Amino acid sequence: MTTWMRSGPLVEGEWVRLSDAKGRKHNLRLEAGREFSTKKGQIRHDDMIGRPEGIIIGSSLGGEYQVFRPLLSEYVVAMPRGAAIIYPKDAAQIVTMADIFPGARVVEAGAGSGSLTAYLLRAVGPDGHLGSYELREDFAEVARRNVGQLVGEHPAWTLTVGDVREDMTETEVDRLILDMVDPWTCVPLAAERLVPGGIVCGYVATTTQLSRFVETIRAHGGFTEPHAWETLQRDWHLEGLAVRPAHGAGAHTAYLVTARRMAPGERSLGRTRRPAPGAYGPEYHGPRPPGEESSGDVINT
């Protein structure tokens, strides 16, 4: 049983998070006989091992620290990174809006630093499958180490260093998650490997990527109308009557898109109204939905 799956007394080998009255936080792995150095002196690991979460321990110079097992959302934002991580607010949206369920067969490209991987593994459980594909060996190694710390040796996970478009071995998947620069290039793969009713989910950084991915899905015709959105998060400062939004809130991170696979031979009903005039004008350089190719504009796909 790993750190993020257990309760009861703290044991050697698992991670804890220390926080002081000023909100400073430290993550450390418990080892018998070791000490952790802070500005307030030394903290003995043995003072935590065998005790419950939620205790307050003292350091050698009188500092006081609360002790809890770190939440997964707390650990992923502080863990070592190769690629940028998918933040907890977006991971929650992917798990929810892509409907990742226990036993699901899921493929993600790429693995990045492993933050979304940990959430997906939690969601599919030991009876599901998650195949992660990462182009870069150095990023894959970071993801491998982070996921090992987070969930241990998970029976549902395989990690492949390679291109999902060329190296994907899974043939029937329920969900395909695309965290990559050019997810539109995976639309044919999604159409081939997703089961009817399966979901493709794209995570992109810019509006131009968002537009091209959505229009490629529409042009294919074998998926439902794409749903695109972003999630904004704003923390609040609460102190007596001083109630206001927190400073430095990182509201926007990325854009998300989902679409569902139609049954073989079926074509999506698409949209019931024509796009706005000029939506596919000369400046547009992406694929067009069926019926929009005859406007006389130059098409560059």
For residue range 83-136, list pLDDT tens digits in order.
Answer: 888 999 999 999 999 999 999 999 999 998 999 999 999 999 999 999 999 999
Ligand-binding annotation for 90, yes or no, is: no
One-character DSSP codes across 210-277: HHHHHHHHHHH-SBPPPEEE------EEEETTEEEEPTT------EEEEEEBPPTT------SSPPPT
Establish whether 138 is an annotated binding residue.
Answer: no
With tokens 């959430």, the residue in question is 119
**More confident position, 161 or 279:** 161
What integer is the mean pLDDT of 215-230?
96
pLDDT value at position 153? Answer: 85
> CATH for 3-70?
3.10.330.20
Residue 54 marked as a ligand binder: no
The answer to the question of whether 114 is labelled as a binding residue is yes
> What's the mean per-residue pLDDT of the chain?
89
Burial of 265 (0-12, 13-18, 19+ CB in 10 A): exposed
Q: Which of 161-170, 265-274, 278-287 has the highest mean pLDDT?
A: 161-170
From the list 257, 256, 268, the residue with the least C-alpha distance to 196 is 268
Question: Domain coordinates of the chain in residue numbers?
Answer: 3-70, 75-270
Percentage of residues in the chain having pLDDT higher than 70:
89
Asked if residue 116 belongs to a known ligand binding site, the reply is: yes
- Is 103 annotated in a binding site? The answer is no
Q: Which band of pLDDT confidence, cut at 50, 70 and 90, is reported for residue 289?
A: low
Backbone angles phi, psi at 17, to 5 degrees: -120, 125
Average pLDDT on 163-174 reads 97
Taking CA atoms, 42 is separated from 61, 74, 225, 260, in Å, by 7, 23, 58, 55
pTM given for the model: 0.85
pLDDT tens per residue, range 8-36: 999 998 889 999 999 899 999 999 999 99
Q: pLDDT grade, residue 240 (50/70/90)?
A: very high
Q: Give the CATH number of domain 75-270; options: 3.40.309.10, 3.40.50.150, 3.30.428.10, 2.60.120.260.
A: 3.40.50.150
Question: Known binder of ligand: residue 235?
Answer: no
CA distance 191 to 211: 19
